[in-house]
Structure 1
Amino acid sequence: MSKFGELVGLNVPVLIDFYTEWNEASVKMHPVLRDVASAVGDKAKVIKIDVDKNTQLAEALRVKGLPTLMIYKNGEMLWRKSGEQNAESIIALIEQYA
């Protein structure tokens, strides 16, 4: 979890996608997040975290629905939402927090 603290402590927005490979909505978000990552470039980071491999972190953050997306900046959670999202709204949010 210390690595997680380093990631969310960055002074650029960090979009985190909590997902699993067996969850259909999570899998549908993969191309959306690729689009987001290419659109924001180095203005933000896009990180994917598999909840099956990071159960303690997912439990600590109370991740229930999948996918769960969060935006952190300077160690503070600025936004959180579960379920599928579209690339345009995620990009707009990231730009708002950049």
Structure 2
Amino acid sequence: MEMSVKHVSASSFDEEVMQASGPVLVDFWAEWCGPCKMIAPILDEVAKDMADKLQVAKLNVDEHGEIAQRYGIRGIPTLILFNQGEQVAQQVGAVSKSQLVQFLQKNIA
């Protein structure tokens, strides 16, 4: 399984996220977003630490706004956990690594 954060686009979103066989955490972010930059290294660590349990993907809302609109993204960073194409859980705002791991463990069966 991929051990790093992958970047998805509007064209690859359905294949990479919706058709994935296991859980995928998607980070909706933008270049100008300070809190998004703060959680980037945390997402990298979690992607490596939990590589056997989930994939982590990033989607730039400025470049792929139609996907952000599809999920009603109002503030960033927003993290949405998908499992087999279903939206399982959502976390808005920057979180610590321990908070993110707790969120994921609670929502990954």
TM-score (norm 2): 0.80
Match of 1:48 in 2: 58
After superposition, residues 11-50 of structure 1 pair within 5 angstroms as: 11-50=21-60
Of Structure 1 and Structure 2, the greater helix share is in 1
C-alpha separation in 1, matches of 2:96 and 2:54 = 17
Shift of 1:85: 1.3
SS of 1:94's equivalent in the other structure is helix
In the alignment, is residue 94 of structure 1 matched against residue 104 of structure 2?
A: yes
The share of aligned pairs that are identical, in percent, is 30
Aligned residue-pair number: 98
Could you tell me whether the CA contact under 8 Å between 1:72 and 1:78 is conserved in 2? yes
Unaligned stretches of 5+ residues in structure 1 = none
Unaligned stretches of 5+ residues in structure 2 = 1-9
Shift of 1:11: 2.5
Could you tell me whether the CA contact under 8 Å between 1:44 and 1:94 is conserved in 2? no
SS of 2:41's equivalent in the other structure is helix
After superposition, residues 49-64 of structure 1 pair within 5 angstroms as: 49-64=59-74
Aligned mate of 1:5, from 14, 21, 28:
14
- The one-letter code sitting in structure 2 at the alignment partner of 1:40 is M
Compute the RMSD of aligned alpha carbons: 1.6
